[in-house]
Amino acid sequence: MRKSALITGASRGIGRAIAAALAREGWPVCVNYLERRDAAESLVLELQRKGCAALAVQTDVSDRAAVEAMVRTAEETLGPVELLVNNAGISRQGLFQDLDDALWDRLLAVNLTGPRNTVQAVLPHMLSEKRGNIVNISSIWGLRGGSCEVAYACTKAGIVGLTRSLALELAPSGIRVNCVAPGCVETDMVRGLGRETRAMLVEETPLGRLGRPEDIAEVVVFLASEKAGFITGQVITSDGGFVV
């Protein structure tokens, strides 16, 4: 039976690189996006021109009903989702005492409730087939904390807990759950921090550079492969040595 991969937040940055890398490995990919329809559709067109099966679906991952509809569309068009990559996420910088309810709730809704929604939507097929693979994208800030990014760090720490707990619960059903914690990667999110902050992050990274989205994508490709068939419940940092 044909199987497919669903990558959330895949129109740009790390998600885009993951979708492209998985497509090269033969996975039909569902490219989820929220706002950048142009970027998502350009990626799908690029992949299709290379002979890869791809589909773009606009969905707010915090909306459970919309996520369930997206999974149905992906399965009807590409095949059952046997690989889920929870990449969609948002970040905001600011002092904790200035963090209002609306922003706190939105960060939790996208970064933590979103993965809850997607996992629950794809699980019925995985459980029935007793196979499947879930890769969650966290962050080094979820491991070590981040000043002026308290809410974001909290959600990414939650992803680590989600990964480890789900791995234990789903292992008897043959479903693997792992996590990648990227360091400072050259994306719109990091570029938004400004030149001085980016230069400081490069200096603090032992390998002396920011990561590339492709660096993270290759870790996901490995975790999605049979080469990682005995790996579950793990958090793999790809950060140039930033956290040791």
First-last CA distance in the chain:
42
Give the list of residues 6+ apart from residue 36 with CB closer than 8 angstroms, or none: 11, 12
Q: How far apart are alpha carbons 19 and 12 in whole angstroms?
A: 10
Helix, strand, coil: what percent of the chain each, to 5? Answer: 55, 15, 30
Specify whether the CB–CB gap between 42 and 65 falls below 8 A.
Answer: no
Q: How far apart are alpha carbons 225 and 238 in whole angstroms?
A: 18
The residues with which 176 forms a beta bridge, in sequence order, are 133
User: Nearest to residue 244, comparing CAs of 203, 207, 202?
Assistant: 207
- 152 assigned to active site: yes
Q: Which residue is catalytic, options 33, 141, 152, 242?
A: 152
What is residue 60's three-state secondary structure? coil
User: Could you give the residue numbers annotated as active site?
Assistant: 152
